[in-house]
Amino acid sequence: MTELLFRDDGYLRSCNARVTNADGRGIRLDRTVFYPMGGGQSGDTGVLRLVSGPVLAISDTIKGALPDEVIHVPAPGSALPETGAELVAEIDWERRYRLMRMHTCLHLLCSIVPGAVTGGQVSDGRGRLDFDVPGSSLEKEAIVSRLNALIAEAHPVGPRWITDEELAAKPELVRTMSVKPPSGMGQVRLMEIAGVDLQPCGGTHIRTTAEIGAVAVTKIENKGKQNRRVILAFAE
């Protein structure tokens, strides 16, 4: 099992770690700042700086089969480190920060558009959510002005933990039908944007909505009978 440092502090850029296992799938560490692809958010990229000298490029990060198992995928052709090797794990912070800003922005979008979320994705510089909304009632201009108002209002963003039982009693908190909340360990992590949004989420977030910066709705697509896809990008 890997200690998931990004879960408590999304702003950590690097950490000391030790290799617990390395095979054809990738490298496992005893602790990491690398977020594995999940919940619609891309996995981190970066480097592993071995204390013995070599620097390994990490081209993706994915979840393993075990709970909290994180697999750091090395760039093709990399020599794998030995089990027990000491290193510094360092993410590509500029890219991760853009992912965190867009991911948090999707929480705001979720609070603006009514209807269940049926899918979503955050990639570098771009994000989208699919909503189960009947008809063609979504107004692009209204969504973008509300989004940018919430961003400018600088709402604080932070985690809040509740028990599985409390969540089961409040099913309305789960807006995303395609992504199961991180539960089953007795506690569920909720992300709260004060006064705006509260929902289970295991992703990485910024501390205040102001850090998102101005965004644009690039497109609203009709993806079927009750499925509207709203695509966002940073305005600058």
Q: Contact at 8 Å (CB) between 100 and 10?
A: yes
The residue nearest Zn ion at its CB is 201
Select from 110, 201, 206, 232 the one that contacts Zn ion (CB under 5 A): 201
Instruction: Name the strand (E) or helix (H) holding 17.
Output: strand 14-23
Q: Which stretch binds Zn ion (CB under 5 A): 9-17, 91-99, 153-161, 188-196?
A: 188-196
Rounded to whole angstroms, the Cα distance separating 157 from 203 reads 12
Q: Closer to Zn ion at the Cβ: 28 or 101? A: 101
Q: Find residue 23's DSSP bridge partners.
A: 26
Rounded to whole angstroms, the Cα distance separating 27 from 25 reads 7
Q: Does 10 bind Zn ion (CB under 5 A)?
A: no
| Residues 60-99 as x/- pattern, contact with Zn ion by CB under 5 A | ----------------------------------------
Q: Does 203 bind Zn ion (CB under 5 A)?
A: yes
Rounded to whole angstroms, the Cα distance separating 231 from 236 reads 15
Q: Which stretch binds Zn ion (CB under 5 A): 52-60, 144-152, 199-207, 218-226?
A: 199-207
Rounded to whole angstroms, the Cα distance separating 172 from 198 reads 10
The residues binding Zn ion (CB under 5 A) are 191, 201, 203
